[in-house]
Amino acid sequence: MAVKPKYKNGEIYWEKLRLSMDPLLPVVLVVMTWLLSERYYPEILYLESSLEYWLLGGITALCITFSIIIHEIGHGLAAKSMKIPIRRIHLYLFGGMAELQHRPSKPLHEAWVAIAGPLASLALAAISWGIYALVLSDNQLPYFLFKFLALINLLISLFNLIPIFPLDGGRIARSVLWLIKGSYIRASQLTFQMGSVMIAFLFLGALADYFFLESRYTLIAGILALYMFYTYYSGRGELTYTPHMAELMKPFGNEYTTADVIESVIEERDYVAPFCIFPVLEKNNVDSVIDGTSVEHILNKAEFSNFVRDIQAGDYIDTKELKSFRPGAVFNADYVPVLENKKFYGMANAKEFSFWLYEHYIAGFELHLSTETEQTRQDKGYL
């Protein structure tokens, strides 16, 4: 039985795929159809009516969009093989992005996720080439469609391999630097600096072409330099992002009870609760927890004691306990309590928090969660 899509808040949902798009994307598709039907196809083949040109242009525009989706699915499948869930695939005006639930925890994982998109585009280019070169002939209309798709998918693959973040090539470059330097934070800083140098060279090249070379590619070089600057500028936030630990969790004070924590999480995002492990706060130190899958029974006034169990490895992150957040640590839920010397400070995404905590650890940053949490609660209006 086919899975029916659901439309909500401008996004399309499937059981295993969430797809969203920029509201102006249909306008871009219309413009693309016009360019193909009025400019590209009339120069390479003869058709009897403008309707045929527009039909061929429209089909080609849709196929380009499909190619972008396949490119992003390539990223998604690679992420899935690394056990990284996909939040959604989002289509922008001139591209797309597969949003992951949490970042890859190892350099080789990031490299594999990044290169999988260009490989998917390259595979589409090869398939399209095989169809038009080996199956069709130039007196058949689909020949020109697949010939164009072979070229455009090859260009998508090559363009995304340019080593400027957040393009796939930039992510691959960061993964290599991450592997060499051993630090994600340091690798991101170097990738940012490398991108700045490359953008400067692109602008210098465009200016040199305009003033000295005067080639027919001057306009293209200028547009490419501007677009790459925009792309680089829009992705700079991820490269320069180094959060305080307290920013990555929902903080709680000493006055909170177990029930308060559960109700607060449900009130903010009720769908998250089953994927949580909640601390039992009846003692100063957290040595017992409740699985989020039991929350429904607890809300129905069942006794807490029926669902309490002893805390174990994978139930928590303790900022003073390296083994609780070291690379490769396995967690028993997506969201777990954050502790400092077994004292409870908040709830956080386990993999995201542990990733940044380890990065701070190897960078030698001093961590004082109690002070950071109090400041964060003040900034967010909790105090």
| Residue 157 forms part of a structural domain | yes
The pLDDT tens digits for 212-250 are 887 777 888 888 888 888 888 888 888 888 888 778 888
- Which pLDDT score, from 0 to 100, does residue 179 have? 93
- Which pLDDT score, from 0 to 100, does residue 70 have? 93
Q: Which residue has the higher pLDDT, 330 or 271?
A: 330
The answer to whether residues 231 and 254 belong to one domain is no
pLDDT of 352 higher than 70:
yes
Q: Which residue has the higher pLDDT, 177 or 215?
A: 177
Token representation of residue 34? 């016009």
The pLDDT tens digits for 294-325 are 877 766 666 767 888 999 999 999 998 999 99
The answer to whether residues 236 and 263 belong to one domain is no
φ, ψ dihedrals at 334, nearest 5°? -75, -35
**Number of independent structural domains in the chain:** 2
Separation of CA 240 from chain center:
16
Cis status of the peptide bond prior to 142, with omega within 30 of 0:
no
Structural domain ending residue among the three candidates 184, 215, 240? 240
The answer to whether residues 374 and 360 belong to one domain is yes
φ, ψ dihedrals at 330, nearest 5°? -100, 130
The pLDDT tens digits for 125-173 are 999 999 999 988 888 889 999 999 999 999 999 999 999 998 999 999 9
The answer to whether residues 312 and 208 belong to one domain is no
- Which pLDDT score, from 0 to 100, does residue 66 have? 93
Residue 34's SS3 state is: helix
- Which pLDDT score, from 0 to 100, does residue 370 have? 61
**What does the DSSP 8-state code read for residue 16?**
S
- Which pLDDT score, from 0 to 100, does residue 212 have? 83
| Residue 267 forms part of a structural domain | yes
> pTM for this one?
0.78
Q: Quick count: other Cβ atoms within 10 Å of Cβ 82?
A: 15
- Which pLDDT score, from 0 to 100, does residue 153 have? 95
pLDDT of 21 higher than 90:
no
| Residue 1 forms part of a structural domain | no
Q: Which domain holds residue 255?
A: 245-379
The answer to whether residues 139 and 24 belong to one domain is yes
- Cα–Cα distance list, 21 to 26, 31, 58, 91, 150 (Å): 9, 17, 18, 4, 24
| Residue 101 forms part of a structural domain | yes
- Which pLDDT score, from 0 to 100, does residue 284 have? 78
Percentage of residues in the chain with pLDDT exceeding 70? 89
Q: Which residues fall within 8 angstroms of residue 123, CB to CB, at 6 or more apart?
A: none
pLDDT of 14 higher than 70:
no
Nearest Cα residue to 160 out of 85, 235, 219: 235
- Which pLDDT score, from 0 to 100, does residue 140 have? 87
- Give the lowest-confidence range in 27-41, 230-244, 277-291, 293-307: 293-307
Instruction: Give the separation between CA 282 and CA 280, rounded to whole angstroms.
Output: 6
- Which pLDDT score, from 0 to 100, does residue 151 have? 94
Instruction: Give the separation between CA 262 and CA 312, rounded to whole angstroms.
Output: 20
Residue 197: band (very low, low, confident or very high) from pLDDT cuts 50, 70, 90: very high
- Which pLDDT score, from 0 to 100, does residue 131 have? 94
- Give the lowest-confidence range in 293-297, 323-327, 368-372: 368-372
| Residue 229 forms part of a structural domain | yes
Nearest Cα residue to 122 out of 160, 84, 179, 172: 160
- Give the lowest-confidence range in 9-13, 66-70, 232-236: 9-13
Residue 177: band (very low, low, confident or very high) from pLDDT cuts 50, 70, 90: very high
Instruction: Give the separation between CA 62 and CA 60, rounded to whole angstroms.
Output: 5
Q: In what order do the strands lie in the sheet with 249-251?
A: 249-251, 343-349, 335-340, 317-318
Structural domain ending residue among the three candidates 240, 267, 285? 240
CATH number of 309's domain? 3.10.580
Structural domain ending residue among the three candidates 214, 240, 266? 240
